[in-house]
Amino acid sequence: MTLQASIQPLPPIPGDAGFSRPSLEWLARRAEPVAIALFAVLAGLALFSLFIFVLGKSPVQLFTLLYTGGFGSWFSLQNSLSRAAPLLLTGLCVALPARLGLVIIGGEGAVVLGGVAAAAIALPLTGSVTPPLVWLAMGIAGMVVGGIWIGIVGVLRHYRGVNETIASLLMAYIAIALMNHMIEGMLRDPASLNKPSTTPLPAEYMLGNIPGMDVNWGLAIGATACVLSYILIEATSFGFAARIAGGNVRAAQIQGLPVGRLIVGFTALAGGFAGLAGMVEVAAVQGSANASLAAGYGYTGILVAFLARHNPLAIIPVAILLGGLDAAGGLIQRRMGLPDATVLVLQGTLFVVILFCETLYGRFKIFNPDLWKSPDLSKRSA
Amino acid sequence: MDDTTIGLWGVPLAILAGAIRVSTPFIFVSLGESITERSGRINLGLEGTLVFGAMTAYAVAVMTSSPWLGVLAAMAAGCLFGLLHGFICKFPKVNDIAIGIAMMQFGLGLAFFLGKPYIQPSAPKLPSIALGGWSSLPQVQAALNINVLFVIGAVLSVFLWWAFRNTRMGLILRVVGDSSDAARAMGINPDTVRLIATGIGGSLAAVGGAYLSLYYPGSWNEGISSGQGLMAVALVIFARWNPIGCFLAALLFGGAGALGPALQSVGVTSGYYLFYAAPYVLTLVILVATSSPTRSLAGAPGTLSLTK
């Protein structure tokens, strides 16, 4: 309460720099999330250094290794980008429904079933159809199945009032059981003995790397999906309606907005992206659907989305940052003799601190756009 | 039929035994979460607390060779995790669900990090009570070999059910959960009550973890939990925030989970993996059947962000 009182009555700065005011105002608005995020990351790293220091290891060496292992060379950067690729799509699976006020935490299920669907549709097609058509069919199959899976959660939410967080979580466990049932049963390649899998894709049907990089096309697909989602939310009437419904469902209903269609549409699209992540995993990494599909990308996506504050464009740098931390894990383990869970601890510390720093929004006068408004504008609005 | 084979009767018996064995961690985590959620806050980080509790209990039991000291240490550690969650969520604009997921990651990471040296040594197990002495059948005796924590959980659920209704503490907890303003009007600080409720919730969740590492399966490794901490949050909603309901829901969930292995033991193997999904399908079906788009869930605390 004291917080609000301290930020409201701010007199505009007098002076004749009026022409630059709108840009300053814009800058203040945009600088706040960047500054707070940077502060949070630094604070998180400082806390983690303390932890490492207490254990008798050198934090400086740790951060040097983090940098070289995650971003320091072209090789490690490519490694980080590869790991970021699925997180872009699973992050969207959380961020899009979140704009409607829905917390979906079961993207893992859509990833898994999307991957199985992509593998299943590819099997009869390989050999008779050209690779690009197979990839298209796999992508569509993955998106449709993933979209239906999370779309069901949206339908249950809107038409039955079932809590979407819990329903999506239950659906994720059901999806993993379904995958195991299928890859152990009808879709199993008899040649896969220890690790039940579907029949692997022939080498020429594997989704290759982006030209000039050792990173598969998943990164480009994920980045495109993020940009398209940003446009959908910020620049279309559908996205505008979704933002209104996310702000206040009652207001949206009174305005006559199709809230039900928005919820089902956004959850289905979100699931579609997660399903696409499963398809990329099958077509570009694994070559077949197997238990490795449930590698936790869906759960890491939750954190990606929350750290990006559900902004699809911000998902891109956040996913790359997390991919880099992941990539550096092995190096830290080998060079410093720390357990491989070190990266998990670092990630956890960072997440807690960054989400904690949400409380800093609106606390700094310097980021208040009203401070930078030109005097006549502020009079008109008052 | 000779004395040692009981044929198809083995299936319900195995389900009963399995239900008791599998449900114990669910009972503790869901009882803890029901206290937290009754105060109007949701802690999704109990999965991390559970695993950290499992690690702490195992490590302390190895060092002191007393499983009960392990359980106590787990409770203390779980309480710290809960207090941290409660402290962070006290600040404005902090999303308790997101913090829960982050705390889950943090707890898992810390447990794997610190628990690395304890994967090898073996810890003393928690005792069990043999209630099947009246029967000469070894299957019956095995099924009725009930662990102490299950009994404690059952007693605790009845106690909490009574305490929510009949004690001053229970009233304070419910007032805070239903309306922060009403609580303030009564002179209660809602943040303090939620902090304590999250701390108690965390320590109970850690007991669930201690059960996993000290009784069944009775070892510490990184794959010890299969989502018990997350599922318990669903069970609380399913049980409508009623502690006795939590106990029964956990038993039902455990029984459904034991269906697959029980059928497999008598030779039914087709669709084995689908039986794994049985508890989740069952929970989802009941959730769908009892939800309604026009009213909020009966018994839901008014300030809980999850049900708004």
Q: What is the pLDDT of residue B173?
A: 94
Confidence of residue B307 (pLDDT cuts 50, 70, 90): low
Average pLDDT over residues B199-209: 96
Give the C-alpha separation, A319 to A309, whole Å.
13
Query: Do B44 and B215 form a contact (C-beta atoms < 8 A)?
Result: no
The CA distance from B217 to the nearest CA of chain A, in Å, is 21
The b/e string for B152-169 (b: 16+ C-beta within 10 A; e otherwise) is bbbebbeebbebbeeeee
Confidence of residue A373 (pLDDT cuts 50, 70, 90): low
Which segment of A337-346, B5-14, B180-189 scores lowest on mean pLDDT?
B5-14
* Residue B61 lies inside a defined structural domain of this protein: yes
- From chain A residues 150-189, the ones with a CB under 8 A of any chain B CB are 156, 158-163, 165-167, 169-171, 173-174, 177-178, 180-181, 184
- From A308, A362, A365, select the one nearest A94 (Cα to Cα): A308
Residue A380 in this model has a pLDDT that exceeds 60:
no
* Residue B20 lies inside a defined structural domain of this protein: yes
* Residue B70 lies inside a defined structural domain of this protein: yes
For chain B, give the mean pLDDT: 87
**pLDDT tens per residue, range B134-186:** 777 777 777 778 889 999 999 999 999 999 999 999 999 999 999 999 999 99
* Residue B2 lies inside a defined structural domain of this protein: no
Confidence of residue A10 (pLDDT cuts 50, 70, 90): low
* Residue B1 lies inside a defined structural domain of this protein: no
Q: What is the pLDDT of residue A330?
A: 79
Is the peptide bond preceding residue B279 cis, with omega within 30 degrees of 0? no
**pLDDT tens per residue, range A29-46:** 788 888 888 899 899 989
> Which of B113, B274, B280 is opposite residue A173, by nearest beta carbon?
B280
A177·B112 Cβ contact <8 A = no
B222 contact residues in A (CB cutoff 8 A): 341
Tell the residue number behind the tokens 């449709």, with chain if given.
A144
Where residue B291 sits, what CATH number does that domain have? 1.10.3470
Q: What is the pLDDT of residue A172?
A: 94
Q: What is the pLDDT of residue B306?
A: 62
In A, minimum Cα distance to B294 occurs at: A161
Q: Spell out the domain ranges in chain A.
A: 85-319
Q: What is the CB-side half-sphere exposure of residue A144 using CA atoms within 13 A?
A: 9
Q: Which letter does DSSP use for residue A200 in this model?
A: P
B108·A173 Cβ contact <8 A = no
Test mutation, B280, B283, B294, B304, chain A, max A CBs within 10 A: B280
Confidence of residue B225 (pLDDT cuts 50, 70, 90): confident
Q: What is the pLDDT of residue A117?
A: 96
- From chain A residues 15-34, the ones with a CB under 8 A of any chain B CB are none
Average pLDDT over residues B26-49: 93
Test mutation, B113, B269, B272, B297, chain A, max A CBs within 10 A: B113
A108 contact residues in B (CB cutoff 8 A): none
Q: Which letter does DSSP use for residue A201 in this model?
A: P
Confidence of residue A4 (pLDDT cuts 50, 70, 90): very low
In A, minimum Cα distance to B272 occurs at: A181
For chain A, give the mean pLDDT: 87
Number of separate domains in chain B: 1
**pLDDT tens per residue, range B115-138:** 988 888 888 888 888 877 777 777
Q: Is B187 on the interface with A (CB under 8 A)?
A: no
Residue A153 or residue B120, greater confidence: A153
Q: What is the pLDDT of residue A8?
A: 52
Q: What is the pLDDT of residue B157?
A: 96
Test mutation, B47, B80, B284, chain A, max A CBs within 10 A: B284
Q: Is B88 on the interface with A (CB under 8 A)?
A: yes
A348·B283 Cβ contact <8 A = no
In B, minimum Cα distance to A309 occurs at: B98
Q: What is the pLDDT of residue B76?
A: 97
Average pLDDT over residues A343-359: 89
Domain extent at residue B158: 7-307
Which segment of A112-121, A164-173, B74-83 scores lowest on mean pLDDT?
A164-173
Residue A1 in this model has a pLDDT that exceeds 60:
no
How far CA A346 is from CA of A31, A321, A329, in Å, comes to 26, 12, 10
- From A190, A141, A149, select the one nearest A168 (Cα to Cα): A149
A116 contact residues in B (CB cutoff 8 A): none
Output the pTM of the full model: 0.86
Q: What is the pLDDT of residue A11?
A: 54
Test mutation, A2, A87, A157, A162, chain B, max B CBs within 10 A: A162
